[in-house]
Amino acid sequence: MNTEKRDFDKEAASWDENPGRVRIAKDVARAILRQVALTHDMDIMDFGCGTGLLSIELQLLVHSVTGIDSSQGMLDIFNSKISGMGLKNVGTLLVDLEKGDRLTGSYDLVVSSMTVHHIREIESLFDQFNDATVPDGHLYIADLDPDDGLFHSDNTGVFHFGFDRNNFRKVFIKAGFNNVRDVKAAEIMKPVGNGETRRFTLFLMTGRK
Ligand SMILES: C[S@@+](CC[C@H](N)C(=O)[O-])C[C@H]1O[C@@H](n2cnc3c(N)ncnc32)[C@H](O)[C@@H]1O
C-alpha cells in the first residue's frame, strides 16, 4: 500500500468521464434509498464528495446536501455543476483531515462513497462522523470489499485495500453507531492486467447514532 497522498486535483476535470464511476454513484444512491426514507427536512453531509456524483443523486429528496472534500479541483467541478443546475440546497466545504481540519456541522445523515479507503486513520474519522451526526441520525458508508490492491491501477493514496465487513462493523460500533447492517451496493468488472478481468463489489454499511 502506498502512503503518499493522491493528487485528486489533477483527476478532477476528467473524473466524470469514467462511466464506471458514474454508475457506482447511481447504484450507491439506489442502495441508500432502499435502506432509508429520505425526507425534505433532512440535512446530509457527503464526505469525500468529489465532483458531486452521489450528492446530486440525493439532493432532490432532502433539505440540503453539504459536499465535503480535500480537493479544491474536485470541488471546483462540483461547484460549477451546482451553479449550472441552479441547485439552491447544495453547498461544498473544503476540509482536509490530513491537515488537521475537522468536520463541523450537524447532519441527519452522513454518507460517503469510495472515499474511506483513501483515509489513513479511520477510527478518528468515524469519531468525527459521530460528532457531526444528530442524535438518532444515520451514517451510510459505501466502499470496496477486500480487493487485494487490484481495484486501483495506481495505489497512490490508497490506505486500505477494501474493508473486511466484520472489522468495519466494529469501527462503526466503537464510534458509537448502533443497528449496524450491511448490504451489497454495487459491483463492477475491471481489467486487472494480464488480460484478466475481475469483479469488484461494494458494500453499503449503515448505522444509527
Ligand atoms: C475516489 S474519490 C470518490 C469521490 C466521490 N465520492 C465519487 O464517488 O465519485 C475520493 C474523494 O475523497 C477525497 N478525499 C481524499 N482524502 C480526503 C481527506 N483526507 N479529507 C477529505 N476528502 C478526502 C478526494 O479528494 C476524492 O474526491
pLDDT digits (tens, 9 = 90+) for 72-125: 999 999 999 999 999 999 999 999 988 899 999 999 999 999 999 999 999 999
Q: Is 194 domain-assigned? A: yes
Backbone angles phi, psi at 26, to 5 degrees: -65, -45
Weakly modelled stretches of the chain, pLDDT under 70? 1-3
Q: Which of 70, 103, 122 to mutate to test the pocket of ligand 1 (most atoms within 8 A of CB)?
A: 70
**Is 3 inside any structural domain?**
no
d(CA 209, CA 207): 7
2 occurs within a structural domain: no
Whole-prediction pTM: 0.96
Q: What is the CATH number of the domain that holds 114?
A: 3.40.50.150
Residue 154: the pLDDT is: 87
Q: Is residue 145 part of a domain?
A: yes
Cβ pair 49, 20 in contact under 8 A: no
In one letter, which amino acid is 75? L
- Any ligand 1 atom below 6 A from CB of 118: yes
Q: Is 57 in the pocket of ligand 1 (CB under 6 A)?
A: no
Task: Identify the DSSP state of 60.
Answer: G
Sole residue written with cell 450491511? 182
- What is the reported pLDDT for 193? 79
- Pocket lining: 25 vs ligand 1, CB cutoff 6 Å: yes
Q: What's the number of domains the chain is made of?
A: 1
Task: Supply the pLDDT for residue 98.
Answer: 85
- CB environment 68-87: b (16+ within 10 A), e (fewer): bbbbebbbebbbebbeeeeb
How far is the C-alpha of 68 from the C-alpha of 164, rounded, in Å? 25
In a domain, 155, yes or no: yes
Asked if the structure places residue 83 within a domain, the reply is yes
- 130 domain-assigned: yes
The domain in which residue 98 lies consists of 8-208
Nearest of 83, 80, 85, 79 to residue 66 by alpha carbon: 79
